[in-house]
Amino acid sequence: MSALGFAWKIDPDDLLHVLYFVAIVAEAMTAALAAGRRQMDWVGVALLGAITALGGGSVRDVLLGRYPLSWVEHPSYLLITGGAALATIVIARHMHHLRRLFLFLDAVGLVVFTIIGCNVAIGLGMPVVIVLAAGMITGCAGGVLRDILCTEVPLLFRAELYATVSIVTGGLYLGGRWLGLPHDLVMLGAMCLGLALRLLALRFGWSMPKFVYTESLH
C-alpha cells in the first residue's frame, strides 16, 4: 500500500498485452531497416513492417483455421505497424545507436509471441505438439516472411538459437500448466527464462550444430 492509499498491482495479462504492442512496433521498425537495405519504396517499407510484425500470428491462425485474423479484427494493428515502419525512415540515421535495444526487444517479442501463440492453440483445444508448434510459428514466422521477401536465408533456418528459444519457452509454459502451478507465475517465469536464454545466446554466440555438405555428386 502506497502513502496515497492505493495498492499497485500489475496484471500479467495486461503486461502481456503491453509487451505485445511494444514487440510489434519493434519488429516493424527492424523490418523497415531491412527494407531500406533492399532500397524499397515507402509502400514496401510499410508492407514489410506490417508483414513482419503480424505475419507470425496470421500464419498461425490460417493453419489453425482461426478467423478473423488479428489484423482483420483489429485494423489498428496495420496502422500501428505500418506507421512504426515509416517512422523508422525519419530516424534511420540514429538506429545504429539503438542496436542493442532492438536486439533486446526482438528477444522480448519472441517469447511474448510464443506465449500468445500457445494460448491461442490451447483455447482451440489443440494437442501439446500443435500448441508448441503454434507458439513457435507465432514467434518466428514473421521473421521468416521478412527474410524471404528480402531474399535472405531466414534466421529460423540458421544455427542461431531462435526457434529453439521459442520451443523452450513454450515447453516451460506448458510444463508449468501441467503441474498445476499458478498461471501468472508460469507465464512470467517461462517468458523470463526464455528471454534469458535468448540474451545469453546473443552474448556468448551459442548456436545449434550446423549441417555442412560439400561433397560433389559428380
Query: CA 188, 192, 194 angle in degrees (round to 5)?
Result: 115
> Quick one: pLDDT at residue 168?
97
Q: pLDDT of 21-31, one tens digit each? A: 999 999 999 99
User: What residues make up the domain containing 67?
Assistant: 13-204
Domain count, the chain: 1
Q: Which three cell numbers stand for residue 93?
A: 540515421
Contact 154, 143 (CB under 8 A): yes
Angle between the 128-149 and 99-123 helix axes, to the nearest 10 degrees? 140
Q: Give the single-character DSSP code of 135.
A: H
Say if 92 falls within a structural domain: yes
End-to-end CA distance of the chain: 76
Band (pLDDT 50/70/90 cuts) for residue 177 is very high
Mean pLDDT of 117-123: 97
What average pLDDT does range 84-103 have in this prediction?
Answer: 87
Do 107 and 203 touch, CB atoms closer than 8 A?
Answer: no
Asked whether residue 217 carries a pLDDT value surpassing 70, the answer given is: no
Q: Is residue 217 part of a domain?
A: no
- Evaluate whether residue 216 is within a structural domain: no
What pLDDT does 218 receive? 58
Asked if residue 2 is part of any domain, the answer here is no
Residue 215 lies in a domain: no
Q: Is residue 35 part of a domain?
A: yes
Q: Does the CA dihedral 156-91-203-53 come out positive or negative?
A: negative
Report the SS3 class of residue 214. Answer: coil
Q: Tell me whether residue 6 is in a domain.
A: no
The answer as to whether 74 is a domain residue is yes
